Structure 1
Amino acid sequence: MGLFDWATGLFPKAPPPAQLSFNAPPGARAFGTGKLVEEMTDADVRESTELLWKMGEDEGLIKAWEIDGALDYRSTLLEIALDGMEAETRELLPRIPEALLRCQVLPVTNAEWQRRADNPPGPHQRTISLLAVTRDELEQIPGIRIYASKSSKKETGKCYYRGCVEVDCNYGEDAGTFLAKTNKITRLVVLGEDLTADFEQRTGDGTFTPQQWVEQVLRPMVLKEEPESFLK
């Protein structure tokens, strides 16, 4: 992948750092560090990524930053609440705790920003994972891909059948779409009984769209409960 491709927006989201792929040719060196790809540690990868993004900022190639959170049956309330948050600079976004490994801040290039503006609201597909008490429940979902193993008790409290399916999302509405298009048992595992009841009632009677519920109900509640240092 060339830097020109990334800068001109040929990818829907910021791609991996230059030459940091499993297909890098022998002897390839990472962007900005000069280190051999095959010898790099996770810390080296993060350093190279930061250098690439810093160059993008210095060259005026980055329009904004957004948070991408994991959306599946293992999602925490924090991951769902943060997903889709956007700001002109990284400093204006909440700080991502180091322990939150399935949530990351990504750059939005000028070209990608313009592409979304030219094609509102910019639908795209996202894979969501579901849980079910029986395999038959999953088999009734169109397009479902069923996993061979069940979820673990540690993750979900009890063992469930698992599957994944592709859903259409509008940019900035992934979290709300996930909650709306997943099934009841997955919502209960992720949100708990009280929040699931609130989500279903308020989106069902038209008080909020699913994404509005995430932004106006869940997000303020979760961020208010986080330590002050999280918001710095």
Structure 2
Amino acid sequence: MTAATARAGEVRLAIATNFHDAAERLAAHFSETTGHSTRISYGSTGKLYAQIRHGAPFDAYLAADEERPHLMEREGSGVPGTRFTYAIGKLVLWSPDAEAFREPQALLEADTLRRLAIANPKTAPYGLAAKQTLEHLGLWKTLESRLVRGESIAQTFQFVATGNAKAGFVALAQLRDDHQGGARWEVPNTHHEPIAQQAILLDRGRSNEAARAWLNFLASAEAQDIIREYGYDIPDLPE
């Protein structure tokens, strides 16, 4: 057993579903380079927040917004000074049918659009961004009764991929695979508030060396390069 292996620990992570693919790759690289292991639970940002508040044993939280990590810091369940934005998400209107639309607003205004999928705006930041986009376009009230709401952005993606909705608002990161073709419209960031995804060390992980190492790794240039590959923007982080 090497000295590095002897010191290796485990970090339990609560991570927003949209970040699944990027997190899996980051976790593998983190384990290879540090010897620390990760145990990850994925879910909507709101549901993970509720689980943590009710005592779920996580060491760090990677949300898809900045509101919940800020609340955790204020409430005392998050360690002050450890919160930062690790990625900025991008929202996309997507249909697996390449002929579904050429002009996105024309599709959204069409009477033939019976079902449009979005994530639940109350628990999923990408759902909130979708709602804000429809409000910006003046279509929220018109389309509200036709919406199919996923409890997470992963479920929303499945609604569209399986044809239960003709189109839906999903994360650009979910369309990274080459086989995810179809019609897509990357929503301008002027149509919704920024999807600033923040991470924070939780009180349970305060003395966990592996948890602090994970957050340091997440803010590193190496990790940022990987995050960009998965369809996210990276904020300017302090030196």
TM-score, length-normalised on structure 1? Answer: 0.25
- Structure showing greater relative contact order (alpha-carbon pairs closer than 8 Å, 6 or more residues apart): 2
Larger-Rg structure: 1
* Richer in strand (by share): 2
